[in-house]
Amino acid sequence: MKYRNKKDYLLGKDSTELEEFAIQFGEPAFRGRQLYCWLYTKRAANFSSMTDLARSFRERLTEDTLISPVKVLTEEYGSDGSCKLLFGLPDGNRVEGVLIPDNERLTACLSSQVGCAIGCKFCATGKIGFKRNLSASEIVGQFIALETAANQRITNVVMMGMGEPLLNRSAVFKAARLITDPDGLGVSRRRFCISTVGWTPGILAMCKSNMRFKLTVSLNGTTDEQRNSLMRFTKRFPLLDVLKAAEKYVHIAKQRVTFTYLLLNGFNDSLEDAHRLIKLVKHIPCKVNLMEYNEIGSEFHQSDKKQTEDFQSVLRSAGLTAIIRTSRGEDIAAACGQLAGGYETNTGK
């Protein structure tokens, strides 16, 4: 499904940009601030509801602009309450986003790219290849669409959907600021997580910025050989360099980092791996999330329950916080590593 237009999209613009936008329309700057409030604080779905804007301005907005570039194509609901939306983008590309309810918490998992260049062997997104980065407008548009589908406020955001967020950090950082603006969408910065396979320049860029979001780094191996065989682009950044960058962010942001470790049967789930992992991260304030592998038809298989629990016990005996993360949304292909936007493997179609 393709839909094209030459209209400007308003989601993704910050307050200053909307002020300049209003001036270009011949309106005073404060109209842009009002527009920001309607778009983000009040989550207005149409211009007719923006009642404190002049009718003539609203008519021009309707004629020349659209609120979001994202259209919901399909909705799927899992047996565990999770929800997956397939989004259509203006150029005909597609991405997916997921809602994960958990008691008082409602987490949105957002995509940052159409496809992914990292090519992780255990991930469905990597198997469709890289198409393009998403704009900040498209990332924020996913958030709004997911919140609308849930009919309740999202409390947590994880950039763990399709793509490597730090390969699109300009758009991701801008979207993150908009989503966590207390005067806008209002998600706490402490509840906004950027996940990476260990793209070191991106982690160092987070260190240099004034952002203090949660950082999650996917290790998935305790040697460079293991990581490189799983995630081919990680060859550019040795494991020790990744850990140094993560440790630097911990000290600057003054919050611990989360290391995720995907357990793969007979590949990286031995107790020897567990002891190596301890040596790698024990000096860094962190927690370790042990992830279950979600089948995508690759060469790997999920570690059995006993091996997973034994791995966790070794980490805990060394004083590490180690949590086994149960997959959510697996029955609708919405779990970690399963998002593919409806594309066929290795075809891009």
Catalytic residue, chosen from 19, 27, 96, 138, is 96
336: annotated active-site residue: yes
Give the Cα separation of 139 and 112 in Å (integer): 7
Give me 177's structure tokens.
């600021």
Give the Cα separation of 324 and 335 in Å (integer): 15
Hey, is 98 helix, strand or coil? Answer: strand
- Of the candidates 175, 169, 84, 71, the residue with the CA atom closest to the CA atom of residue 124: 84
**Which residues, 6+ apart, have CB-to-CB distance to 323 below 8 Å?**
287, 288, 289, 290, 312
96: annotated active-site residue: yes
| DSSP code of residue 161 | S
Distance of CA 196 to the CA centre of its chain: 9
Residue 90: C-alpha distances to residues 19, 37, 110 (Å):
25, 25, 18
- Cα angle at 297 between 97 and 233, to 5 degrees? 70
Q: Where are the alpha helices (DSSP H) in the chain?
A: 15-24, 29-36, 55-64, 136-150, 169-179, 200-208, 224-230, 239-253, 271-281, 305-317
Catalytic residue, chosen from 83, 109, 286, 336, is 336
- Say how many C-beta atoms besides its own lie within 10 A of residue 188's C-beta: 13
Residue 190: C-alpha distances to residues 12, 66, 215, 318, 328 (Å):
21, 31, 10, 27, 22
Amino acid at 212: R
Residue 104: C-alpha distances to residues 94, 107, 155, 186, 189 (Å):
30, 10, 8, 16, 18
Q: Which residues are part of the catalytic machinery?
A: 96, 336
